[in-house]
Chains A and B, each alone.
Chain A
């Protein structure tokens, strides 16, 4: 449904997006994960035709985003970083306007707007001025605008930002329910959100894709680089040095009595060796535990490792 190849965008000399290649199949829900400034929003703006790429190609539904922007835009619902809402309009009128802009047929507009209001639980505020709504409600109006013309593809930039926990759950359920019929790309830097709603995750950092996989496979990939933490009685530089020399140990960091031993990926079972070494050097092991690698750490690892 969505194909991106060698997509590059330069802001002056600076590459915001650098040789991006990925694909999203019809009906998939894919999460775009990355730190601020990674290039998520830029990629989305290119896909929705808001700005052109410097190089590369992107197609949605077979239509080239650059050559056939109108065809692409007809099939896409976009929620930008800031919901594009007019404060002086009422919610219903605004959604009606959005529906008209997106070529919804005149007689179908009322129903389309009502459906969108229902899906985003905005029924109560349909006649309120958008300027009088809270940030969370405005965000929902922005989402409703993306849904109102029932597009095949939804591109959502941080859809749950500003929402309270209850609303977040509702929106996540909504997004999950959209998969299958619709193809969804959503971006976030809230990791649990991506794990909760997406089938596949694309991790992007500094304009480049650093990982593309389902969550399970990403976790397995990184799990191999396990981390153990020790609390010792008397830490010593020689002891720490000896630990570093163990075959399979990637690095040791020490903070007072707490030592953190990182294993190299693909390392064999060396827990016994670590404890043995620590004890034999006179450090005295008080606690030893394996730290589970969380998604946060996967994310940080992937996004802070220097690219070769």
Chain B
């Protein structure tokens, strides 16, 4: 099983790099993150200098001042970028009719879906891997805490994987990549914005909506806590997305 998943994942991962898409996404991502990191860092320095000058106290810690905003922003960027990563996964296969190759080969639907998801996950991992430069810079020039950095990476990986699984799902419902991408983005936004509604909702609704919101589960990761209930939430979210994809693809065979 793992072998089959890897065969599919490897092909798709390499396919990302034979078209401009991977390069554009990675480059765009690094440019934006680099910019953010730079402005974040300079603002932080200025702030701390002010604190020192006017003797206002200890100032903001690196964790609160740089790390949390940095990865918080990264999550927002992924909300926008992930649809571009996932939109081609199934939509293109259906358009090119190559889906017939996959569906008539001795693979289970689960293996195909996991393979596709994994190829997108690998691309995501590459992008996150490239951002390790920022903690390295921080360590070289300052004294950040390692804990929050690690937890932020875990949290971002999980959160972005939720977008990935939504992306895989919407890629499977249409032949049109643009539609797939748009739906993925809309779904991501929905689960993001759900948290805004919690402020005006009553006690019961408020808690429910808070549970559904993707970012409210991120808060702990931001602070340096890897909470099992948050991890479970994200894994469930990912699992449901992939399960629904299985249902969708299976249903096509019944038409």
Contacts and interface: CB of A to CB of B under 8 A. Distances in A.
Interface stretch (B24-32, B54-62, B64-72, B97-105): B97-105
A252 B71 CA distance: 86
A45 B101 CA distance: 11
B103 A50 contact: yes
Contacts of B105: 73, 98, 101-102
A52 B11 CA distance: 27
A60 to B, nearest CB: 12
Given A73-B104, A76-B104, A89 B97 contact: no
A164 to B, nearest CB: 23
B255 A11 contact: yes
Contact of B15 (A81, A89, A145): A89
Interface in B73-107: 96-107
Contacts of A51: 253-255
A88 interface: yes
B18 interface: yes
Contacts of B15: 86, 88-89
Interface string A30-51: 0000000000000001001111
B101 A74 contact: no
A147 B90 CA distance: 25
Contact of B101 (A71, A76, A101): A101
Contact of A103 (B96, B101, B106, B253): B106
A85 B253 contact: no
B100 A70 contact: no
Interface string A72-88: 01101010111111111
A78 B106 contact: no
B7 interface: yes
A29 B254 CA distance: 30
Contacts, number: 68
B19 interface: yes
A71 B11 CA distance: 24
Nearest to B4: A101
B97 A82 contact: yes
Interface in B208-255: 253-255
A84 B101 contact: yes
B106 A73 contact: yes
Contacts of B199: none
Given A86-B96, A88-B15, A98 B101 contact: yes
Contacts of A88: 15, 18-19
B11 A97 contact: yes
A50 B18 contact: no
A134 interface: no
A132 interface: no
A117 B247 CA distance: 37
A100 interface: yes
Contacts of B96: 84-87
B15 to A, nearest CB: 6
Contacts of A83: 97
Given A11-B255, A52-B254, A86-B15, A74 B100 contact: no
Contacts of A45: 100
Given A86-B96, A86-B98, A87-B96, A52 B104 contact: no
A80 B100 contact: yes
A21 to B, nearest CB: 23
A103 B97 CA distance: 21
A45 B18 CA distance: 31
Interface in A138-184: 145
Interface string A46-76: 0011111000000000000000001101101
Contacts of A102: 105-106
Interface in A88-147: 88-89, 97-98, 100-103, 145
A50 B19 contact: no
A75 B97 CA distance: 21
Given A78-B100, A78-B104, A98-B101, 15 more contacts: A49-B103, A52-B254, A73-B107, A74-B106, A80-B100, A81-B97, A82-B97, A83-B97, A84-B98, A84-B99, A84-B101, A85-B96, A87-B96, A100-B7, A101-B8
Interface of A: 11, 45, 48-52, 70-71, 73-74, 76, 78, 80-89, 97-98, 100-103, 145
Interface of B: 4, 7-8, 11, 15, 18-19, 96-108, 253-255
8 contacts: A70-B106, A73-B106, A80-B104, A82-B97, A86-B11, A88-B18, A97-B11, A101-B101
- Closest 7 interchain pairs by CB? A84-B101, A101-B105, A73-B106, A82-B97, A48-B104, A84-B98, A88-B18
